[in-house]
Amino acid sequence: MPRYLRIVLLLTPGLGLVVVMMSMVIYRAVAQSFGLYNFGGEDILSLAHWQEMFDNRRYWSALRWSGYIATTSALLSVALAYPLALWLRRPFFGSTILSAMIKAPYFVPGLVAAFLLINVISFHGFVNEFMIWIGLWDKPVRMQNDENGYAIIGLQVWKQLPLAFLLLLGSIQSIPDSVLHAAQDLGAGTLARFRRVVLPLTMKAMQAALVLIFIGAAGDFSFQAIAGPARKNSMATLMTQLQGSNYSDWNGAAVVGVTLMGLSLVGAVALAGFVQLMTKFTENVR
């Protein structure tokens, strides 16, 4: 059997299946957004569905909202993961338990995480009762479904911090001690060492973490549906709503779906590029 044929046969059941299925799904989303595969109506290639969405306030509001949640969650998770990863880089008493506890939320399904949170922050939930008990607040604060999305961002960070932590930890651990020590001997302070040694050497891991968290948070449905503000839709909740029975607007849902894919791509490229630029810049700064 020729070698190339052998390779093709080997790749078919796994890679082949993924490629066929995913390209069908993506093609379908794009085609439906332009009026093809129109259930019931005629298939007319047109920009009408895009036009209709562009005129819809909820579309823009959802796009802004998902972009905001995803960017904030990605940056915040990475910012918190760095000190933790640096701290836990070498084992010490209790470090195993600590990293296990940091990683634990990653194992908790998103729906369960959202449920746990709304219990804790509800009007007479633990946080409110505790703050009133210690006297910091004199009446309960309404935190559920807050308009700024703090609950969703908190959930994203709770759930995604482990991913950033693991990626950064692996990368930081592979920096030889000698490199860090050499920098110290040259008189670099903690911040300078971080900027000039750690940051450039962990850039790839940071990019990966930012991109993965951004994409995950941009496509979020569960957190938005359960803990998000009633006034806002995420792209995923808007898409599901349009496709659902009250509207049965598959074409509109397709426009939102394609936009969401675009948002993921643009966000990922932008964040990765931002990190690259920032690293270059800080490296050159004295």
The yes or no reply on residue 136 touching another protein (CB under 8 A) is no
**Encoded tokens for 88:** 């836990």
Stretch 71-110 residues interacting with another protein (CB under 8 A):
87, 92-95, 97-98, 101-105, 107-110
CA 111, CA 266: separation in Å to the nearest integer? 27
Pick 116 or 188: Cβ nearer another protein? 116
CA 263, CA 116: separation in Å to the nearest integer? 29
Pick 39 or 135: Cβ nearer another protein? 39
Nearest to 173 by CA among 244, 88, 280, 270: 88
Pick 24 or 47: Cβ nearer another protein? 24
Stretch 149-208 residues interacting with another protein (CB under 8 A):
158, 166-167, 169-170, 208
CA 181, CA 42: separation in Å to the nearest integer? 70
Pick 72 or 264: Cβ nearer another protein? 264
Pick 110 or 188: Cβ nearer another protein? 110
**Encoded tokens for 190:** 């903690």
**Encoded tokens for 156:** 């994203």
If you count them, how many residues does the chain have?
A: 286
Contacting residues for 202 by C-beta, under 8 A, at least 6 apart: 168, 171, 172, 175
The yes or no reply on residue 47 touching another protein (CB under 8 A) is no
Among 2, 4, 138, 285, binds another protein (CB under 8 A): 4
Among 7, 48, 79, 179, binds another protein (CB under 8 A): 7
How many residues bind another protein (CB under 8 A)? The answer is: 100
CB of 177 to another protein, least distance (A): 15
CB of 244 to another protein, least distance (A): 7
Stretch 227-246 residues interacting with another protein (CB under 8 A):
229-233, 235-236, 239-240, 243-246
CB of 81 to another protein, least distance (A): 12
Among 10, 47, 141, 179, binds another protein (CB under 8 A): 10
Judged by CB under 8 A, the stretch of 71-79, 112-120, 185-193, 271-279 that binds another protein is 112-120
- CA contacts within 13 A on the Cβ side of 202: 29
Judged by CB under 8 A, the stretch of 31-39, 74-82, 188-196, 274-282 that binds another protein is 31-39
Among 46, 51, 79, 119, binds another protein (CB under 8 A): 119
- Helical segments of the chain, H only: 3-11, 17-33, 48-54, 57-87, 95-103, 110-121, 126-133, 150-173, 177-185, 190-193, 199-201, 203-218, 222-227, 235-243, 250-284
CA 148, CA 227: separation in Å to the nearest integer? 11
CB of 281 to another protein, least distance (A): 26
The torsion angle over the Cα atoms of residues 246, 250, 255 and 256, rounded to 10 degrees, is: 50
CA 204, CA 94: separation in Å to the nearest integer? 29
